[in-house]
Amino acid sequence: MAAKLLDGKALAANLKEKIKNEIQGLKARYGAAPKLVSVQVGENPASEVYLKSQRKNAENLGVEYHLEKLDAAATQEVLIKTIDKLNKDKNVHGIMIQMPLPKQIDAKLISRYITPLKDVEAVHPQNMGEIVFGNAKILPCTASSCMELLNSIDGLKLYGKEAVVVGHSEIVGKPLALLLLDKFATTTVCHIATGERGRLQEFVKNAEILIVAVGKAGLIKGEWVKEGAIVIDVGINRVEGKLVGDVEFDKAKVRASYITPVPGGVGPLTVAMLMKNLVEAYKIQASLFKA
Ligand code: NAD
């Protein structure tokens, strides 16, 4: 069997078209476009691609976008003051902080200073906590991209399915596991210690839904993939100048029923999800603050 490709690019294009129309409607109703502010401390080549894509997507969708640049030596206090100013600015609807932050700044602490209403990456503990209760309106972008890919599969019911998430980071693995649980998938989370105990293969072999977010090329061997499994590869690795995921794509695709390519799977959806969150944040703020 050759797996069908889960085309993140096409899904993202579709979603963005809907977001664009919704933004036009919001502009007509409330008189202003949603505004997203990205805060960057110092320069980082890894962030540049993402920043470019944010700006381009904002332009295409009719979002007002501003990049607030702080000096690489900016203190934590200066960053907190900047966030506070943006929190109070009624014209700003979404705030995101570019990672990685320089050493003098504690990223986990900083996430607490963004008002949850404007936290379009869902990094604030309150937004994370809402996921536990199945109430979240704003979801971490990569985790929700994975759910969007699963939702795109015709007739797929997650109820009772064996789902395995490899990777337990705050931005991907942990929230994703909660989202899968919310759909009643029987969810197992594997991580570095699973790998170190040599148990990864055993868990992966049982996965009807396999989602991998580690950042190690070839970690998941193609022959481990269960016949007919759905495979979502979040990993991004550069190998000999080419981008590849964490799963051995060529070997996995002959066993899986659906698989994401890297690039072109999860990645393109992430920015679309960010914009979806911005629209959601705008709508919540508009309904709260309308005179
Ligand atoms: P992270 O470094 O925060 O977490 C990595 C996770 O992998 C940890 O839970 C760790 O325990 C686990 N791990 C490490 N080695 C392992 C092993 N041998 N066996 C099992 N588990 C192991 O990473 P992250 O920020 O969650 O990102 C993961 C990958 O996803 C990276 O390649 C990143 O570039 C990519 N990513 C892609 C997108 C996208 O939009 N496509 C977004 C975010 C992250």
Q: Which domains can be identified in the chain, with CATH numbers?
A: 31-118 (3.40.50.10860), 141-267 (3.40.50.720)
Residue 213 Cβ contacting ligand 1 at under 6 Å: yes
Cis, peptide link before residue 100, omega less than 30° from 0 = yes
Distance 18 CA to ligand 1 centre (A): 30
Q: pLDDT > 90: what percent of the chain?
A: 95
Tokens of 173: 């693995």
Q: For residue 125, is pLDDT > 90?
A: yes
pLDDT of residue 76: 97
The H-assigned helical ranges of 183-261 are 192-196, 200-205, 249-252
Q: Strands, E, within the chain: which ranges?
A: 4-5, 35-41, 64-70, 94-97, 162-166, 186-190, 209-212, 230-233, 237-239, 242-244, 258-259
CA atoms of 105 and 98, how far apart (whole Å):
12
Query: pLDDT tens, 19-77?
Result: 999 999 999 999 999 999 999 999 988 788 889 999 999 999 999 999 999 999 999 99
Its pTM stands at 0.97
Distance 130 CA to ligand 1 centre (A): 23
Query: pLDDT tens, 189-221?
Result: 999 999 999 999 999 999 999 999 999 999 999
Tokens of 155: 């007739």
Angle at 148 between CA 55 and CA 154, to 5 degrees: 140
pLDDT of residue 50: 86
Residue 236 Cβ contacting ligand 1 at under 6 Å: yes
Pocket test for ligand 1, best of 191, 200, 214, 269 (most atoms within 8 A of CB): 214
Tokens of 283: 């709508």
Residue 192 Cβ contacting ligand 1 at under 6 Å: yes
pLDDT of residue 209: 98
Residue 102 Cβ contacting ligand 1 at under 6 Å: no
